[in-house]
Structure 1
Amino acid sequence: MSAIRALRQVAGPSSRMLAARGSAHTFARAALPAFRTSVAAPASRAFSVSARRFGEGATDVTLSQKLTEELQYEKEAASSAEPDFLKNFKEQGVWKVEDVAGNDEVTLARKFGNETIRLMFSIADIQAQEEAEFEELEEGEETSEDQPTHSYPIRCSFAITKDSVPGALTIDAMCQDGSFVTDNISFYADAQVGTELTAEADWKRRGLFIGPQFDTLDVSVQEEFEKFLQERGINDALAVFIPEYSEYKEQKEYVSWLQNVKKFVEA
């Protein structure tokens, strides 16, 4: 859910609330006895014709209308052109964005010497955080104007492999407020075990030592690891890009969801 959509839900009744009110009103009218059949008959015929347009459900037409309104609003609120932050990121030519439509995970990949570095993050984190913030607003809590725009945390996973040697170095981190906070760094002798997103690889990882918590390492070791990551482009600039792209990706997926659901309901 985009920030614009969240604000619209706070500012006024949602389309789902309006639809519920409309349905209740329609039910109340239907429950009244039809004293003038000559007036009620045309309305009944019009309703039955509309209902047959979209499957068998009596609510299909109303739902389609609400989906159309929401889709129109989202398209007007968001530009179809590629945003400047994404253009600038691509022009740097450091990271390649691997984004599959319909998936909630995004991968950034790059080469660094004989190393291949892959970063994965999910827009599911931004959705969960926005829902939690919206619930707080509904309970009466106000947000501060000084609060950072991208204050929600996004979990990230880095995998570093080398062409010349086996194994993989993986880093679990949290991206928040324009920086990365490293959780732990693991080493896997088998690169496939450390990097593949399969049930078999996940099962094998469960029985392996994943390394100590990063903040329990000697301070000097932590500092050198941070320099190691900075040199490979895992820096504050990347930590700013990830939440921006997460919002952009989430908005695209929501518009696509509206289109697909609307098309299915109207079939």
Structure 2
Amino acid sequence: MSAIRALCQLSLPSSRAIASRAATRSVARSALAARIAPVASRAFSVSTRRMGEGATDVALAQRLAEELKYEQDAAAPGEPDFLKAFKAQGTWAIEDVAGMDEVSLTRKFGNEDIRLIFSIADLQTEQEPEFEEGEEATEEGEESELPLHSYPIRCSLSFTKASGSFTLVLFGTDVSLQGNAPGALTIDAMCQEGTFVIDNISYYNDAKVGTELTAEADWKRRGYYLGPQFDTLDISLQDEFDKFLQERGINQSLAYFIPEYAEYKEQKEYVSWLKNVKGFVEA
């Protein structure tokens, strides 16, 4: 079961590669340590303690301020081009709440409501690839042949349909009739290297049970059959499901956008984290 499914079953990452960003931050912190040391030593000589009365508060706040300035200076101004282009297509709406690690993409397709959820947590836990025994590391000056977004991001998709409704006129009175909701189809997949690799496909008779992010819905989902592993299905059936997703815009273009946006959001959240922690230490 994917990490996103665990999130959903509550009670219940053109951008830089993760290894590059981690290395850049590491170098920045080393440089900051060298620049800050003299300032920090002077701060300790102040007779009256500032901030939270801790002996280390001033040095920590200064270090946070330097790191924050570095990140802000390195950031490109305004909205990135890849995001502008994505929004200009007008296909998917982005639901991104500051401070949360989940992002939702939603759209309408005919009578379907489609939601795709992914998390930047996959970026935060991704490790640099290790070389297999016998493989040689890329020599200095030689460009790596690895794709820009080789790290996987878990995605959860849900498909729901509005219940059928119609109105009858009986003896001059409008009577609205509501049909039965067709339930919900959910798909767990991995987004990597411009493709979606499906894990499994589940169906829920009750659309609320299949899509709500509540403890009650999670409890009800535990007893449901989650469907077979996708790669065990007949090849022709797998192909038809792939066509089903392609027609709904769940394609290579989207699979490249998701890790790019995840990295963009992770950087925004990191800057926000620096601001908030700095503010707390200084209070």
Would you say same fold, with TM above 0.5?
yes
Q: Paired residue for 1:235, among 251, 266, 270?
A: 251
Q: Which residue of 2 aligns with 1:208?
A: 224
Q: TM-score, normalised by structure 1?
A: 0.82
Q: Which residue of 2 aligns with 1:73?
A: 70
Q: Say whether 1:250 aligns with 2:256.
A: no
Q: Paired residue for 1:174, among 190, 207, 210?
A: 190
Preserved CA contact (<8 Å) 2:43 2:59: no
Distance 1:133 1:45 in 2: 38
Q: Give the Å deviation of 1:200.
A: 1.4
| Alpha-carbon displacement from aligned partner over 1:63-117 (angstroms, at most 9, x marks no partner) | 0111011001100111230000000000000000000000000000000000000
Q: Which residue of 1 aligns with 2:128?
A: 133
Distance 1:209 1:142 in 2: 45
Q: Give the Å deviation of 1:14.
A: 3.3
Q: Give the Å deviation of 1:202.
A: 1.2
Q: Say whether 1:152 aligns with 2:147.
A: no
- For the residue of structure 2 that corresponds to 1:53, the secondary structure is coil
Q: Say whether 1:163 aligns with 2:155.
A: no
Q: Paired residue for 1:114, among 105, 111, 114?
A: 111
Q: Say whether 1:14 aligns with 2:14.
A: no
The one-letter amino acid paired with 1:215 is: D
Q: Which residue of 2 aligns with 1:95?
A: 92
Q: Give the Å deviation of 1:175.
A: 0.1
Preserved CA contact (<8 Å) 2:51 2:57: yes
Preserved CA contact (<8 Å) 2:44 2:55: no
Distance 1:58 1:106, change over 3 A: same
| Alpha-carbon displacement from aligned partner over 1:17-54 (angstroms, at most 9, x marks no partner) | 938x959x97xxxxxxxxxxxxxxxx7984233xx221
- Greater RCO, CA 8 A, separation 6+: 2
The percentage of counterpart residues that share the same residue type is: 66
Structure 2, unmatched stretches of 5+, are 1-12, 164-180
- For the residue of structure 1 that corresponds to 2:154, the secondary structure is strand
How many residue pairs are counted as aligned between the two chains? 240
| Alpha-carbon displacement from aligned partner over 1:111-156 (angstroms, at most 9, x marks no partner) | 0000000000000001100xx228x69xxx9566211121110000
Q: Give the Å deviation of 1:223.
A: 0.5
For residues 52-63 of structure 1, the aligned pairs below 5 Å read: 52-63=49-60
Distance 1:213 1:59 in 2: 53
The one-letter amino acid paired with 2:88 is: E
Q: Which residue of 2 aligns with 1:34?
A: none
Preserved CA contact (<8 Å) 2:153 2:191: yes
For residues 186-201 of structure 1, the aligned pairs below 5 Å read: 186-201=202-217
Structure 1, unmatched stretches of 5+, are 27-42
- For the residue of structure 2 that corresponds to 1:57, the secondary structure is coil
Q: Give the Å deviation of 1:242.
A: 0.1
Q: Say whether 1:218 aligns with 2:217.
A: no
Q: Give the Å deviation of 1:244.
A: 0.3
